[in-house]
Structure 1
Amino acid sequence: MAGDREQDAQGLPDERAPQGVDPTVPSVARMYDYYLGGKDNFHADRVAAEQIVAIARESGADVREMALANRGFLVRAVRHVARSGVRQFLDIGTGLPTQDNVHQVVQREAPGSKVVYVDNDPIVLVHAQALLADNPHTAVIEGDLHRPDAILKAAAAHLDLSQPVAIIVAAVFHFFPDDDEVAAIVATLREALVPGGHLVISHSYVEPEEGRADKMDEARGVYRRSGAGTIAWRDRETMRGYFAGLELLEPGIVPVQEWRDDDPYPAPGLAKGGVLAGVGRRP
């Protein structure tokens, strides 16, 4: 179809894949880039992303609006944390660069703030390293969130973990199907926070509704063919547990578009699901 060829022309040709990257296997980072209107994605990413867009649309949701709303939350959250005095940020599962990346937001608020990005996608790492080559206060490290202790150890080469750090895990944990593993990972990150440190998390959810099970299974099927393997949705109470022992900042666990956003007209495609968010502070 002409439309497909035009859309593909907006992304990367498969022959541009770096060594070690299979462009025929969708990547959740590159799918997310596509949702946000980026061009750092391959044909397989765009096909998988459009399948998710169509599945969500049939359920009355809009994946692109979800991705944009999540990005807006991230910007507002890290801006708030920077204004509260935190000068160190650890962004795990950073994804491909877009507008208003964490270092750009926080360094506008407080020049000299340190930011460490962590990801395990080779294309993400290449792009991030190129973007940050001339920024002495920002570093990029390869890391796997299945091993949070290793991430913290690597980050300690760039950040002083005895001082407040904001740890950010935005739209990542829904690719971890094991509830117990997610709880353990969050506990490790949470325990690394000293007083004044913050934990910033966002996570996909779906409002309970009869007839949704088939669509959720379809979405899982698409993600099973990606590097992520699957997708899971979790509720507010599960999210609330991730902030145990922390001061959960107002307005608590809410959809990302409601976290300190003064826009009274949220996009209609977010009404039946989207992304939950929370920010906690170590007292």
Structure 2
Amino acid sequence: MTEPDEVDLDRPNAARVYDYYLGGSHNFAVDRQMGDEAIAMWPELPQIMQANRAFLRRAVHYCVEQGIRQFLDLGSGIPTVGNVHEVAQLAAPGARVVYVDTDPVAVAYSKTLLTDNPDADIVRADAREPDEVLASPEVSALLDLDQPVAVMMVALLHFIGDESKPREVIARYRDAVAPGSYLAISHATAEGRPDLAGDHADLYQQRTTTPMTFRSRTEIGAFFDGFELVDPGLVFLPQWRPVSPAEVGDNPERLTALVGVGRRL
């Protein structure tokens, strides 16, 4: 894959730093430098990111088990191994997936990866602009919004500041999808490690164009307005439907993201 011309190599990008945390190869020196600084401050970060990825896989499996065959993955990032289309289509061949991201590296690599997959595509768009996303040719071609859809907002909303009115953004997607649709959210919170969250947020504020907003359990829970949270509700990363007790460990709160899946009423 050739580098898109508009890639900014002077500033770290959150999607590429996340790829680095996961051990991916679609990142640049500036991203790796910031990732190393963040890990030096917070050594559990790679474990948190891996747990976040595991939640995404479990959430997709859950939605497939509920009969969902359409997925809209907002802020999808760079599609490393185990992304939504791989999980969904392995469990339910023919499941349709549309990814959405603004990062040119994520979009270019996704386009290459999905070339021979007629049931998956990516839109280069800002998830904060629901009307633009929902009116895109890719969404129109692959998703029937009159039928239930799983909307994935995994590690996205903490990069959407309050000034962008995230509750209104989510409500627009909620109102566009059919009853029986699902919303999956993972969101960074200071609960569990308040001693580290502030410095981590400062690093993203200073170094990237996508500052982080750590939110409380109450604030994150409010994003599910119009959805009924499925069991076990809003919990820390490893506590959401773990495959085994070993996944949860003794201190799940140290993996500082709250996650949940809700069914549209």
TM-score range, shorter chain: over 0.9
Length, aligned pairs only: 262
Alignment of 1:281 with 2:232, yes or no, is: no
Give the structure 1 partner of residue 99 of structure 2: 117
1:21 aligns to what SS in structure 2? Answer: coil
- CA shift digits 1:157-209 (9 cap, x unpaired): 42111111111010011112216611111111122221221111110112266
Unpaired runs of 5+ residues, structure 1, are 1-11
Gaps of 5+ in 2: none
* Candidates 109, 113, 126, aligned match of 2:108: 126
| Cross-structure match for 2:171 | 187
8 Å contact kept, 1:86–1:166: yes
Q: 2:221 aligns with which of 240, 243, 252?
A: 240
> Residue 206 of structure 1: SS of its match in structure 2?
coil
1:238 deviates by 1.4
3-state SS of 1:104 partner: helix
Quick check: which has more Rg, 1 or 2? Answer: 1
Q: Is the 8 A contact 1:26 1:225 kept in 2?
A: no
How big is the alpha-carbon RMSD for the aligned residues of Structure 1 and Structure 2? Answer: 2.0
Residues 31-110 of structure 1 mapped to structure 2, 5 A cutoff:
31-57=17-43, 62-110=44-92
- Which position in structure 2 is the counterpart of 1:8? none
8 Å Cα contact 2:128-2:164 kept in structure 1? no
Shift, 1:56, TM fit? 1.8
Structure 2: how far apart are the matches of 1:45 and 1:222?
A: 12
In structure 2, the CA distance between the partners of 1:226 and 1:149, relative to structure 1 (3 Å rule), is farther
Alignment partner of 1:257 out of 224, 229, 238: 238
- CA shift for structure 1 position 274: 1.6
Equivalent residue, structure 1, for 2:191? 207
Counterpart of 1:241 in structure 2: which amino acid? A
**Matches of 2:97 and 2:251 in 1, distance apart?**
32
CA contact 1:28–1:226 (8 Å) conserved in 2: no
Which residues in structure 2 correspond to 1:134-173 (within 5 Å)? 134-154=116-136, 155-173=139-157
What is the CA-CA distance between 1:84 and the residue it aligns to?
0.9
| 8 A contact 1:118–1:140 mirrored in 2 | yes
AA matched with 2:205: R
Counterparts of 2:40 and 2:4 in 1: how far apart (Å)? 29
Q: In structure 1, how many angstroms separate the alpha carbons of the residues matched to 2:264 and 2:26?
A: 36
Q: Distance in 2 between matches of 1:232 and 1:68?
A: 20
Output the TM-score relative to the length of structure 2. 0.92
> Helix, strand or coil: the match of 2:153?
strand
CA contact (8 A) 1:176 1:232 kept: yes
Q: What letter corresponds to residue 244 of structure 1 in structure 2?
A: D
Aligned equivalent of 2:180: 196
1:116–1:168 CA distance, 2 compared to 1 (3 A)? same
Q: Is the 8 A contact 1:205 1:273 kept in 2?
A: no
SS at match of 1:228: coil
Cα pair 1:206 1:272 within 8 Å, conserved: no
Deviations 1:77-133 (A, max 9, x none): 011101111111000111112111101111111111110011000000111000000
